[in-house]
Amino acid sequence: MSTLIVIVYPTEAKAEEVRQTLLGLQKEYVIRLGDAVIATRTEAGKVKLNQLLNTTATGAVSGSFWGLLIGVLFLNPLIGAAIGATSGALGGALTDVGIDDAFMKDLSASIAPGNAALFLLIQEMTEDKVLKQIEGFGGVVLKTSLDETKEQVLRDALQRHSAEAGLTPPP
């Protein structure tokens, strides 16, 4: 079963630093992430999602390849590639992998402008090793699907460093 953890950081750069640390731990097989998205809120109140996978671009590349291949078979590769890229991009844009985008946007509406929320969908992890690596970054836990004891351990570890940075939890 996957675990959802949302941590708020004072800047998008700090959230990206944590995400890169976790991706490094994934290469060491300490954690297996299903998704890792950074959400920021602008001064105007608009929420921007920075996702790992761009499904639109991936779909366009895949679609153009298959369209080109089919186009070659029917002696019109340019039209085949164009139709394939368009349909692949459309399919990719309509595909939502990992954490639901609407959920992330709704939850991110509560963070202060300029702050960033790191959404993590964790499939497996070695808790003590992951916590040791991320506790130095601070952050405030916004939401988790962890049980109460594990959530409190995470909150306490991050709170020690967040208090020093002056980051306060969202209302």
Q: What is the pLDDT of residue 166?
A: 54
Residue 112 CA neighbour count, 13 Å, CB half? 12
> What's the pLDDT band for 25 if we cut at 50, 70, 90?
very high
Helices (H), 54-143: 55-73, 77-94, 101-108, 127-134
What span, in angstroms and rounded, lies between the C-alpha atoms of 15 and 9?
6
Percentage of the chain lying above the pLDDT 70 cut: 66
